[in-house]
Amino acid sequence: MHSDLDTQLVEALRGRGQRVTPQRLVIHRALRALDTHASAEEVLAAVDDRLPGVSLPTVYATLELLSELGFALRVGPAGGRVLFDPRLDDHGHLVCSRCGRVEDIDALDTGPALAAARRRGFTHARAGLVVTGVCGPCGDAA
């Protein structure tokens, strides 16, 4: 059973000359199912039973590939971690440097930055803003 997003990923992998492996599809589905900003460790825990023996570096490399292909948004490093976001529209992130909480922020105008990137010959440009600070609950606890 394949969803539309599976089909799109298969086409994107082929377009880049990358192998289409069940592992890559499972990792992509797992990230979407988590439906939150997830570290490679969290994705590994989610696919462990379906992909016995898969290693953390493999999961990490696959998530990097997904973000290169536009199927995940790489967040960070923020607060010492790299996270992958299944939400694909351009949005920014607030990251708490104490507890690691990540929240989405909207209404970012990345148009000028992306236009500047295009003028310099960049393709596949994505812009992301990460704001680090101390979240409300952590600030209250201090």
78 and 130 Cβ atoms separated by less than 8 Å: yes
Give 65 or 83: the residue with its C-beta nearer to Zn ion.
Answer: 83
Q: Does 85 bind Zn ion (CB under 5 A)?
A: yes
The radius of gyration computed from the CA coordinates of the chain, to the nearest angstrom, equals 16
Does 127 participate in binding Zn ion (rule CB under 5 A)? no
The answer to the question of residue 59 lying near Zn ion (CB under 5 A) is no
**Type of residue at 98:** R
Q: Which of residues 91-110 bind Zn ion (CB under 5 A)?
A: 96, 98-99, 101, 104
CB 27 within 8 A of CB 59: yes
Q: Which residue stretch of 76-84, 90-98, 110-118, 125-133 sits at the interface with Zn ion (rule: CB under 5 A)?
A: 90-98
Distances (CA, A) of 65 to 31, 55, 94, 127, 138: 13, 15, 24, 17, 34
List residues near Zn ion by CB under 5 A.
85, 87, 96, 98-99, 101, 104, 135, 138
